[in-house]
Structure formats: C-alpha cells, structure tokens
Amino acid sequence: MRIGMLGTGDVAKALAKGFATLGHDVKVGSRSAGNGKATAIAKELEGKGSAGTFAEAAAFGEVVVLATLGSANPEVLKAAGADRLRGKVLIDATNPLDFGGGAPRLFLGHTDSGGEQVQRLVPEARVVKAFNTVGNAFMFRPVFAGGPPDMFFCGNDAAAKKTVEDILVSFGWQTVDLGGIESSRYLEAMCMVWVIHGIRSGTWTHAFKLLRK
C-alpha cells in the first residue's frame, strides 16, 4: 500500500518505519520541499521511503497519516488539500495538546475533539482516530510482559475502520473499536491519562489493555 505521512516528528518516524518494515511505500510530507527531517526519515526506510511536501504526501497515499502538532492540524490539512484527501482513509494520530506552561493540557474536549475537528476540516476524507494513546516507542510491534496491549480507535466509516484495524493488527496490536469519530473526545483524554502517569511515575513504558473475561 502507498502511505502518505504528514509530519516529521517522532510519531511520523515510528509509523513510517513500521509501514516500511511491513513492505509499504511511504512518502514523508513536511511543510517545505527538501525538509531535512523528512529526507532523513525517508532515507532510513531503505528503498521504501521518499520525501515531499504535505500536498505531495497526501496525493501519494492510499492511506494518509496525520502526525503533526495538534494545534497545527488546520494549517497542515489546508496544505495537504481536502481534494487530495477525498475518499481516503486518514489516520489521525494527533492530540490537541496545549504546551503553554506546565504539564500539557487538552485545548479541546467535552463537546468537541481534535478528531472531530479533523473530520470537519476534510469532510470527504474518512478519518479514523488511532495511535494517539501510546508513546511512539511502542507504536510498532509493542512488547509488554502482560501481552499485546489494546489500541482504541474510532471513526465514522466502517470500511475505513476495517482498513485501520487491519493495519493495527499488522503492527502487533489488539484492537477496540469505540464507534464514531466523536469518541475522539475520550481517546484524547486517554492520552492525558498516559501522559500524567508518565509524569508522575517518571516512566514512559506503559500502554493500555482492556481486560476481558
């Protein structure tokens, strides 16, 4: 599959490496052509990677991943282009975090969420929220003493969710479908549980698992 990666941070790098390891072709998109971080990630993908702008990555991908700073989502998606994302599966791995002083906080919640904002910004893309509740170090092939952790995901389009669920399983996750994109309100709050536990414990090696009888 062709994957368009929007972003050049730790999440984009971890997911790009995961996709490439599984044999997918990845174009890493950034705000400017020739971005050094995008080029460096692409180079690490050993023949499966290339670099370009957000628009080029969006056009390239059969599946596109949004992995940029949450507050930049409107400008990133504007640059990617709603037309280029029309009908495509858009995995939203972002969190609406405000880093303006002290510990990060959500700048959206209760009655709205980053996932819903993303779906409104690109209404004809098929947005699935996923990968936002775990650290980048564990996004691909997570290994924990308690067995495979669960990746919670949500979105409005059943076929898009099936595509993302298949990707999650291929990445080594068990999955939990939380329904429509409005459940992003709770997945983004779960991110804060992950972050606060990290801050309080000083460890960043945890993941969520739903226990089943």
Between 120 and 159, CB nearer to ligand NAP: 120
Between 59 and 187, CB nearer to ligand NAP: 187
CB of 46 to ligand NAP, least distance (A): 21
CB of 135 to ligand NAP, least distance (A): 4
Q: Alpha-carbon dihedral of residues 185, 186, 188, 192, nearest 10 degrees? A: 130
Segment (H or E) for 150? strand 150-155
Calpha distance 130→188 (Å, rounded) = 10
Between 21 and 136, CB nearer to ligand NAP: 136
CB 139 within 8 A of CB 132: no
CB of 49 to ligand NAP, least distance (A): 15
CB closest to ligand NAP, residue no: 9
Residue type, 49: G
Q: What is the 3-state secondary structure (H, E, C) of 153-191?
A: EEECCHHHHHHHHHHHHHCCCEEEECCCHHHHHHHHHHH
Between 43 and 87, CB nearer to ligand NAP: 43
Site residues (vs ligand NAP, CB under 6 A) = 7-12, 30-31, 37, 67-70, 72, 75-76, 93-95, 97, 132, 135-136
